[in-house]
Structure 1
Amino acid sequence: MKRHDKERPNKASAGRRFAVWLIVLAVAAVLIRLALASRYGGFMSDQELFVDWMRQVRQRGLGTVYIEGSNINYPPLFLLIMEAYRSAAGLFGIVPAAGELSFKGVLIALDLAAFGAAVLLTRSSGRTAGRLFVLALLALNPALIFGSAVWGQVDMLHSLLMAASLLLLPGSPPAAGALFALALLSKFQAVTLLAVFGIYFLRLLLRREFRPPALFAAGFAGVTGACAAFFAWSGGLQAMLKGAYLSAVGMYPQVTMNAMNVWYYFIGTPPTTPDTTKVLGFLSLRTAGFLLLALCVVYAAACLWRSRMDAAALLKSAALVNFAFFMLPTEIHERYSVPALVLAVFVCLYDRRWRLPAVLLSLSVTANLWMVQAERIGVYPGLAVVYVNVALLLWMLLALGREMRAGRSSDTADRNAKGRRKARAPGIG
């Protein structure tokens, strides 16, 4: 009884220390972002476009803005968030302007909301150093800070929703389905999770476990159905689908749009090479990139199939698929690496071996973003980033492969043990 009495103050003290660390991280995250957002204008063309979208939504309404507006090629969730921010800022007489804190405030708020969501999503890990590492890498990550507070982009939104969907999938399929729908309503890149979800639910269905897939589908349908009904009622459903998901496809037909991937001189292709260029006389570079991605997705799916199908395995497979999506297809932008980074950070919650790769990936993404935003892209500095990224992709492939082989060895050992037990069992005679 006395021992329990001693343990309670220790637990309370540990809880207070952990809470203090969370407050320190949150405050540091906000202050750093505010300082950088105030000092650096960022990527003005993106921000000017977003501010113009705010104006168009205010004038025409969200339901018809895709019909009557122009140059809107993001899904509606971000437009809805920006309109809510514009309305709230207007109460204080603030008019969002590109390159100013008045606009970047919405991005900083999203980053802070993502940190708060991460605190909740990692609660099952307790007050551990591993959990604190993950939260610190999210709050103070130079790539995530640069992407929002300096550049002025919103990649953290769909990236966090993707990670949250995978984290909740084993225990709460309806919430996972709803979050995946929100991720798709934030950015179409979230579609990369379909391969992961497909393998997960296929295995459940083969085991005749029908309830989790049905619950996931219900959560997904609830969100997407409400969105579709809203735009259909406004008459803008077809225009929304075309503008948000189809209009940007094939817009930049070159091998890479500033992404430091395999197409950036690594295999001898300058970035401006048209991806319609034929190789072997019949295969375009664009098709070759998709074939490489398909091979990587099949590999990740096979590794996931042989795993325990827990949150760690889901995150690892998704991180590999998303990093392969950044590294292998053509026409990829520099910011498409952010979801892979966020997923890799959450993997660190379960596997210490991913910590160094997650840090290196953070630095390579930061370098890529800075080079583009500062217009200081050099061939050899860019290639240095490419070599780091290629090494990280190979490491992910090998890491998942080792785990798949270990799973096979474990299954074989279990089967052999069962066989020996049967052989020793007395017969009926």
Structure 2
Amino acid sequence: MRGICFILLLALVLRLIWIHDPGYTADIEEFTVPWMRTAAHEGLGQVYERYEIVYPPASIALLGLVGKLSGSPAALGAITPVELFFLKLTNIFFDLLLAASLFRLGLSVAGQRVGLAGALLFALCPPFIFIGGWWGQIDGWFIFFMFISVWAIARNRTTAGWVALGIALAFKVQTTVILPLTALLTWRHAGLKRLAIGIVAFIAAFLLFAAPLFGDNPQTPLFRRISETARDFPYISAQGHNLWFALTPAARGRGLDIHSDLNATPLGISYRDAGLALLAAGYSGLLILLFIRRDRRLAFIGAAMAWLLFFMLPTRIHARFLLPALPFLVAAGFYARRWWWLFAGYSLTLFVNLLERAGPLSPWADWLTITPGISVANAWINVGMFVVAWVWLVQPAATDERPVNRWASLARWEKGFVTLWVAALLAGIGLVWWRGYETGKEIAAWSTGLPAALTSRLEAADPSQTLIVNWPRSVWSEARLFGLVPVTPPATFMPLPEEIAPEATWFQYTPWQEPSAWEIVYHGRSVTEDELRAAAERAQEVLAFRPQSRDFSTVLRHEPVTADPPCPVEFSGGICLVNAALDISNPAEWALDLTWYPVETPQPGLTVFVHGLAADGSLQVQADGLPGRGLSPFEAIARSGQALRETRFLPATEPLARVRIGLYDSVTGARLPVGCAPELECAADAVEIAP
């Protein structure tokens, strides 16, 4: 008893060393503090209503409790020392519970000395000390309940195991990583009836934590927000040192690595689909091995392998996703000591990964730098240990684990089940591969160099007067000619005016967000959407790629106006369509050049509609949207005293006879009345032109 008390005291002291440090402020100030204070003062429902949050309700409820205990102020701001103390103390508390649980498991499996050794290994684990004691993250909360779940399943206490798993899911959605494993172990060792009871208990445990939300606000978008977790980091790697980090140089940037859906592997399929295919194959292989061997003691090894698979093979992986594998590797070592070597190895590589991720915020940043070469080597070490883990799983040690039950020992229905499983797996991987191949073909269309006309146009552009907008899905090295930093498109590269950015900068529009959610960054400094619009308003010209083709085009141009131009087409509110010219020289698409001039300041939110009509008047194609693609609304043009020239494109996939042009209110949908010169063809709310 004294031994485990000493180990727990040691673990506590090691984690209290940095409890006063602000920790990873990028997470704490942006996410933790607003969620904690809102939950403490306004309730859980308001947290989900107000923030783009992907954490399930138990995490937010516990954060709210931390806020109440620490006397959190209602106003948002920097975290207080008392809040920081209580936040980190809850992380440390769950770490201590996990260390005590490992000791209890080791005591029952291999005796007191082995149990103490396992608890000591975990107490000294650098990543858990770093995360719980310094970083301020809340991963330990769900890891503890997930560990208890697997432990209960291994002891044939299936209902308790599923309840613990439901609680773990209520803390963090990544708990689903071991959900298939838990279902297989329950079915294989306890039967379908116990599995059904367990699933009901799992759902009930999760809903128990979600129930206060529904009473507080029935419209809380809880499940939608949680389901969108995977969209938040659509990169090849979110700085996790896994297989893709090791193989792909473009996946190693800090926030600038390329999008896994919109870039293809050398095999021609998208990175995301390649990762999903590998994960499906690896996880299915793990489940088949556990199905054949039918050894309950393999639950901990299976859980560790599930998390290693989840960390190593798919894209979009954060460094902390390796953390849950570590306590399961300690538990696996109670049955076969060699797994402790992998625990030690992954503890060190994850610590290096976390130090790189924390960067200048790390407490050792002044004297310790993780170079790119170290990071790549670290990723390859992870790959090597992953291969070793598979070898050990397939070839168990005769002294510590039961031999593999051979295929011949399976019943006929079991062989049939495995055969169908493999067939379904191959079919699923085939479908994923086909989808990835189709995506890869689409990506390849964007992988050509910049056209000569575009290069000359960009070289001639004056950065002080020109806003350069780039929309395609890949940008090659030619962009460097203009002092622009290539990032994964859809993206915009902007030499902003001097008062916004003194040097070349880059602008990224994240494709997984809504169109109104601009992400604009200048060397780590955010630029607001209003600043972007102001830059477009001041620029004399905006040059842009178009997503529909490789061609380069001028999307909009601000033209100085000394006197009111002739107004052949005038819409209600004083908006003149000065010119509308249709170019049909390209048989694949028509180009419509429009010049707008607001005589008065119009109502905000007016949208242009452009409809391509067949000879019988039926609608074939349309190119609706805000003027200047939203960068130059009419009210801004009116203030500047300039005319706006923009080009819109209509795919000529169907025979077109004429084009209809008009304006409508984006809120009400009502079209604006229009008056035309006698020589033009006008309806009550639109003007039509023919080639």
Query: Given the two structures, how large is their TM-score scaled by the length of structure 1?
Result: 0.82
Q: Which amino acid in 2 is paired with 1:109? A: F
Partner of 1:87: 68
Aligned runs of 1:279-428 on 2, under 5 Å? 279=265, 283-310=269-296, 312-375=297-360, 376-403=369-396, 406-409=403-406
The CA distance in 2 between the partners of 1:80 and 1:119, in whole Å, is 29
1:189 Cα offset (Å): 0.9
Partner of 2:113: 129
Structure 1 residues 126-135 or 98-107, which shifts more? 98-107
Q: Which has the larger radius of gyration?
A: 2
1:179 Cα offset (Å): 0.6
**Alignment deviations for residues 304-346 of structure 1 (CA, whole Å, 9 cap, x no partner):** 1122331x31111221121111111111111110011222122
Going from structure 1 to structure 2, the CA distance change for 1:171 and 1:374 (only over 3 Å counts) comes to same
Gaps of at least 5 residues in structure 2 are 73-78, 361-368, 411-691
Identity rate, percent:
24
Asked if structure 2 preserves the Cα contact closer than 8 Å seen for 1:278 and 1:284, the reply is yes
CA RMSD of aligned residues (A): 2.7
Structure with bigger strand share is 2
The CA distance in 1 between the partners of 2:402 and 2:164, in whole Å, is 32
Asked if structure 2 preserves the Cα contact closer than 8 Å seen for 1:47 and 1:99, the reply is no
Partner of 2:152: 168
The CA distance in 2 between the partners of 1:129 and 1:384, in whole Å, is 35
**1:34 aligns with one of 16, 20, 24:** 16
Going from structure 1 to structure 2, the CA distance change for 1:241 and 1:97 (only over 3 Å counts) comes to farther
Asked if structure 2 preserves the Cα contact closer than 8 Å seen for 1:156 and 1:338, the reply is no
The CA distance in 2 between the partners of 1:158 and 1:325, in whole Å, is 16
The CA distance in 2 between the partners of 1:406 and 1:252, in whole Å, is 41
Asked if structure 2 preserves the Cα contact closer than 8 Å seen for 1:42 and 1:373, the reply is no
Aligned runs of 1:45-60 on 2, under 5 Å? 45-48=26-29, 49-60=31-42
Going from structure 1 to structure 2, the CA distance change for 1:218 and 1:120 (only over 3 Å counts) comes to farther
Partner of 1:278, secondary structure, is: coil
Going from structure 1 to structure 2, the CA distance change for 1:360 and 1:305 (only over 3 Å counts) comes to same
Q: Which amino acid in 2 is paired with 1:241? A: F
1:73 Cα offset (Å): 2.3
The CA distance in 1 between the partners of 2:402 and 2:275, in whole Å, is 27
Asked if structure 2 preserves the Cα contact closer than 8 Å seen for 1:259 and 1:368, the reply is yes
**1:158 aligns with one of 128, 142, 147:** 142
Partner of 1:283, secondary structure, is: coil
1:241 Cα offset (Å): 1.5
Asked if structure 2 preserves the Cα contact closer than 8 Å seen for 1:199 and 1:305, the reply is yes
**Alignment deviations for residues 332-385 of structure 1 (CA, whole Å, 9 cap, x no partner):** 111110011222122112211211111111111111111211344422101221
Partner of 1:255, secondary structure, is: coil
Provide the aligned length of Structure 1 versus Structure 2.
386
The CA distance in 1 between the partners of 2:81 and 2:273, in whole Å, is 40
The CA distance in 1 between the partners of 2:121 and 2:196, in whole Å, is 35
**Alignment deviations for residues 20-41 of structure 1 (CA, whole Å, 9 cap, x no partner):** 1111111111111111223x43
1:100 Cα offset (Å): 4.3
Asked if structure 1 preserves the Cα contact closer than 8 Å seen for 2:67 and 2:83, the reply is no
Partner of 1:367, secondary structure, is: helix
Asked if structure 2 preserves the Cα contact closer than 8 Å seen for 1:304 and 1:317, the reply is yes
The CA distance in 1 between the partners of 2:107 and 2:113, in whole Å, is 13
1:297 Cα offset (Å): 0.2
Query: Given the two structures, how large is their TM-score scaled by the length of structure 2?
Result: 0.52
Structure 1 residues 119-128 or 391-400, which shifts more? 119-128
Higher RCO (CA 8 Å, separation ≥ 6 residues): 1
Asked if structure 2 preserves the Cα contact closer than 8 Å seen for 1:303 and 1:317, the reply is no
The CA distance in 2 between the partners of 1:236 and 1:116, in whole Å, is 40
The CA distance in 1 between the partners of 2:263 and 2:372, in whole Å, is 21
Aligned runs of 1:258-277 on 2, under 5 Å? 258-271=239-252, 272-275=257-260, 276-277=262-263
1:390 Cα offset (Å): 0.6
Q: Which amino acid in 1 is paired with 2:178? A: L
Asked if structure 2 preserves the Cα contact closer than 8 Å seen for 1:228 and 1:237, the reply is no
The CA distance in 2 between the partners of 1:84 and 1:119, in whole Å, is 29
1:181 Cα offset (Å): 0.4
Q: Which amino acid in 1 is paired with 2:317? A: I
Gaps of at least 5 residues in structure 1 are 1-18, 414-429
The CA distance in 1 between the partners of 2:343 and 2:57, in whole Å, is 31
The CA distance in 2 between the partners of 1:174 and 1:102, in whole Å, is 32
The CA distance in 2 between the partners of 1:75 and 1:98, in whole Å, is 25
1:79 Cα offset (Å): 1.5
Partner of 1:109: 93
Partner of 2:19, secondary structure, is: helix
Going from structure 1 to structure 2, the CA distance change for 1:123 and 1:240 (only over 3 Å counts) comes to farther
Partner of 2:663: none
Asked if structure 1 preserves the Cα contact closer than 8 Å seen for 2:237 and 2:317, the reply is yes
**2:196 aligns with one of 204, 214, 226:** 214
1:212 Cα offset (Å): 2.4
1:118 Cα offset (Å): 3.8
Structure 1 residues 276-285 or 137-146, which shifts more? 276-285
Going from structure 1 to structure 2, the CA distance change for 1:74 and 1:134 (only over 3 Å counts) comes to same
1:64 Cα offset (Å): 4.0
Partner of 1:278: 264
Asked if structure 2 preserves the Cα contact closer than 8 Å seen for 1:165 and 1:180, the reply is yes
Asked if structure 1 preserves the Cα contact closer than 8 Å seen for 2:236 and 2:272, the reply is yes
The CA distance in 1 between the partners of 2:138 and 2:84, in whole Å, is 15
Structure with bigger helix share is 1
The CA distance in 1 between the partners of 2:102 and 2:45, in whole Å, is 31
1:102 Cα offset (Å): 5.0
Partner of 1:250: 231
